[in-house]
Amino acid sequence: MLYSHFCHQIFANPPQTKQLVLALSGGLDSRVMLDLLARFIREYPDYHAHAVYVHHGLSTNADTWAQQCVTWAMASGIDCDIEQVQCELGGGASVEQAARDARYQALSRHIHDGDTLLTAQHADDQIETFLLALKRGSGPAGLAAMPVLTSFAAGQHLRPLLTIRRADIEAYGTQHQLQWVEDESNLDQRYDRNFIRHQITPLLNERWPGIRKAVSRSAYLCGEQEALLEELLSHQLQQARQADGSLHLAENSSARLGMALIRQWLKQQAVIMPSLAQLEQIWFNVVQAKVDANPQVCWQQYQVRRYQQQLYLLQQWPDISDWQQEVTIDHWYQLPQALGMVCLEQQAQVGLRLPYADEVVSVRFAYVGPEIKPQGRSGKRKFKKLLQEYQVPSWLRRRTPMLFYGEQLVAMAGVFIVDEFIAPATATTTVQFSWQRS
């Protein structure tokens, strides 16, 4: 029965490439799915399978589990890769959330155009996910819990066992004399999911034996409602979204409509969604702020800011005001925080004068000094005033590379060059400050 259900799910949601990638942890659920997958590719050899074990480094047993997964996969005729990851803690994220984010980021590297990722979540996992969303006060999007099928990386993510009880999966494993690993952290009830699994779900199942189906139905209905809302808002969102990815909301938008559009905009960018309180802050404290304000709302590693009545989604980065790099002509240099590369390139056309022998040439991200006169301007201006006039958003003012000769500002990449550093018309060789963004 379990195998026929697995086959039905594959055929109902076939990968374009017929490439199936299994997330293999070695626990009961994924171990059973490995066996199901091995049977499937033996019966249908035009399909191809591959397994990936994600090594989080959170348990002293992880090395043993990784090797055990490779052994089981090889015995099943399936290749298995080990992906070593580090869980990035901080920003309010739990260990569970950090591990999950790292796991899916690693798995995404194995999903190519049209491939399908298989994970082994089941009906009991769905109850836990639903209750965790309920605890957080989630709306329909959160209460939709886990869908059977969703897009993922360059392909899709399929959960073939999502409607199957864990007891049925365990019965299959026992019947087929499978071995699996037991993660000791699954017994630690300090984690909310484990508390629900060991304390709450058994009581719910005892009181209401049909609770799995009821939760599955409610999650499905919430998912349908969310999909309908997305469909109804798609035209307005398309009009509101700008070419640079920012969001422009009409001045007469209601709070209800505005926050719904913001949610859909964030959802399209696959970020961790803000809470209701944070979403309200984005609307009331950012969208509705005074015209001359510089508002922002931060959560996890993200922030939403407003510039010229448009919303921008940004990552939160550490300050790099003190960063600097000495440069020589015709060499490319990597900038920090994925900001790209810069080069001072020699050229024969009009450009910047060559640096003098005693001038140390450097790239920096901050300037504190006297007023400057950019090329083409009639007079000098304070640096802050110039950035406002050139319409450089506040969050880019210390993230745009600047060229210095000694302590004198020469140019701000893509914004201006300082007039006094323009090479004379008689110069046969000049330089250009080039910036290649990531």
Residues in the chain: 438
Structure tokens at 24: 């293999």
Q: Which residues of 407-424 are buried (b: 16+ CB within 10 A; e: fewer)?
A: eebbbbbebbbbeebbbe
Question: Residue 25: is it exposed, middle or buried by C-beta count within 10 angstroms (0-12/13-18/19+)?
Answer: buried
Is 29 annotated as belonging to a binding site?
Answer: yes
Helix or strand (DSSP H, E) at 2:
helix 2-12
Nearest Cα neighbor of 376 from 402, 350, 348, 405 is: 350
Nearest to 149 by CA among 137, 163, 135: 163
Strand partners, 364: 324, 402
Instruction: Cite the beta strand spans of 348-405 per DSSP E.
Output: 361-364, 402-405
> Does the annotation list 394 as a binding residue?
no
Q: Cα(first)–Cα(last) distance of the chain, in Å?
A: 50
Enter the tokens of residue 110. 């194995």
Please give the structure tokens belonging to residue 95: 């260990």
What are the binding residues?
25-30
What are the binding residues for ATP?
25-30
